[in-house]
Amino acid sequence: MNRSSILYAIGAAVLVATAAMNPVVGGKEMFPAKNIVENAVNSADHTTLVAAVKAAGLVETLSGPGPFTVFAPVNTAFDKLPMGTVDTLLRPENKDTLVKVLTYHVVAGRLSAADLAKQIKAGKGKAMLKTVSGGTLWAGMHGKAVMLTDEKGGMSMVTQADVFQSNGVIHVVDTVMMPK
């Protein structure tokens, strides 16, 4: 084998190894063949979100065929909420409100970061997204990152985009978004 053949073989091996790696979220690998819930339960950064999804009775829905685009707040996003908000939302008597907040983070269909960027460009800097809860989110660009604005004017940045699942895509966000 000559030098260029060896370099080609090494380069090909690196490409194959890189392509085989799955995204890591919350310290755990996310597998595209698993659904949103199957992957989310393994993320150390999404334990509050997973507990809320379970309390809201949304596990079956988010395990279904979708496709869904989920803007998944990390644990620190929930920590930004006023003291006691999460505990209040997790009470059985507040299930309807919890469902509304969680489904406000879900858009029907599979929207990649590239899809969002196209919609933002077509909307001259802003894209309107209808959520499963019936609410609206607005997406815009903040540098190279997608920034979401909720109905109350709160803002959340996509910190990790395009975590593809068998039934959609997750975009990790840094703030819990609130519907009206």
Q: What is the DSSP string of the chain?
A: --HHHHHHHHHHHHHHHHHHPPPEETTEEPPTTS-HHHHHTT-GGGHHHHHHHHHHT-HHHHHSS--EEEEEE-HHHHHTSPTTHHHHHTSGGGHHHHHHHHHTTEEES---HHHHHHHHHHTTS-EEEE-TTS-EEEEEEETTEEEEE-TTS-EEEEEEEEEEETTEEEEEESS-----
**pLDDT, tens only, 97-130:** 999 999 999 999 999 999 999 999 999 999 999 9
What was the pLDDT predicted at 3? 56
- Domains of the chain plus CATH, in order, are 24-173 (2.30.180.10)
What was the pLDDT predicted at 35? 85
**pLDDT, tens only, 159-173:** 999 999 999 999 999
What was the pLDDT predicted at 8? 44
Q: Which residue ranges in the chain fall short of pLDDT 70?
A: 1-21, 28
